[in-house]
Chains A and B, each alone.
Chain A
């Protein structure tokens, strides 16, 4: 038993690298996911993940499977969509969700077009589903840097961000930080998605942000508690998912996300806060 849990990591360096990469994504991306969830923007993460595709595709066309080019391309595409949709929502009658949907759909179509005319299906699969078992040093450094920057930035904007979520009108009445906070947060979302797509792919990267955050909602009440619980769930799901994919020969990205999905299912039914079983718990405590 112990052997099947530890040996894969002890024996193969690609498993250790995969684990490191996933831990970095969990530590950086999941707190961002918690705020997406609290701001009722869970689906925004998904939209942004689609939006970075053309940037990554252009990077791929220019420089092949180059980490730097695809990262820069993804960042530019993601930021452009975030800024444009934010701008349109602020100066026209269109709401932010609608303008974001419009821009990400355009961006996604552009991305698929670029990838399918110039690359092969294998390349598209790489962008969509990632290569967590083939992370090199440069990719690991990138993922760790993004995690570090994210944590520092979140610590820096924590208070205005909480206010922006809970009572945006109050924040606007006492300070001019509302817009800056909003766009800094969107930048963090894009950055973590771009980092995540190297390991898990654009589609799966959203999973490790949102699923642990959603599961944590059934375990913790405060924001700090939510973040700690979500990061713990994300790391545990990553390690379990890697082991499952190793032992059963399954693709690792989807395996990690599915394990997180199982944790979500368990939390939904058995978690102590607001889950299906929560009324039963309370009844037993009172009795």
Chain B
């Protein structure tokens, strides 16, 4: 099986405290994978490790069918300054950076693609609104439009559906399905088990260590969820309480 990326004994963390520990596994090319697990299980950390923002403490991420430069990454919302005075078009157009860089202007073809992306997420008519005036759901739609323009083979989403309304959820899941249909590899950190069951064929359950990885129906079981919570609780104290890391 061709893989989009593979984890090899991957250990990621901060200040040498591992948040993801000795992870092995492959994410198949063109697959649609949900990453689930309790709070503090290392889900966001894993995405940061894939983008390269965070260097592994040990092991590595191997790229198969797609390159590290071909990633579109949606971090958790709090990292963006929403009071900054730019319009929806400006925000979405950032997605074209890898094509036009920092200096050159937008051509008509670029403008058409920006308009398409904005309509695709249901934000037509909001083009010249300042991002600070958007609701949480509308803002998330704009970020999805930017991801669309990035046109990447690998899409990483970190809790993309937190605090948005039901209508927005349906529309944005439509965008995710569109990526999946186009053969792109999509990995999303998610909390809502219902969304995972209905829309994500593959699931990777994490609790610092790998709990299970495979078809969603086999991974997302009550037994696994219970085990994940226990594994995480065992490590929430000081790192020395957790026998596995003491050496």
Q: Which residues of A contact B (CB under 8 A)?
A: 38, 156-157, 159-160, 162-163, 165-167, 169-175, 177, 221-223, 226
Contacts and interface: CB of A to CB of B under 8 A. Distances in A.
Nearest to B133: A221
B195 interface: no
Contacts of B103: 156, 159
Given A170-B94, A173-B73, A175-B97, A222 B87 contact: yes
A3 to B, nearest CB: 42
B125 interface: no
Contacts of B230: none
A89 to B, nearest CB: 17
Contacts of A162: 84, 86, 90
Interface residues of B, number: 22
Contact of A173 (B71, B81, B130): B71
Interface of B: 51, 53, 71, 73, 75, 79-81, 84-87, 90-91, 94, 97-98, 101-103, 130, 150
Interface majority SS (helix, strand, loop, mixed), chain B: mixed
A173 B53 CA distance: 8
B80 A167 contact: yes
A166 B80 contact: yes
B93 to A, nearest CB: 10
B84 A157 contact: no
A159 B51 contact: no
Contacts, number: 53
Contacts of A221: 85, 130
A38 B79 contact: no
Given A173-B71, A173-B73, A177-B102, A223 B85 contact: yes
Given A172-B53, A173-B51, A38 B85 contact: yes
A166 B88 CA distance: 12
A171 to B, nearest CB: 8
A169 B85 contact: no
A191 B19 CA distance: 43
A223 B91 CA distance: 13
A137 to B, nearest CB: 35
Contacts of B98: 174-175
A165 B53 contact: no
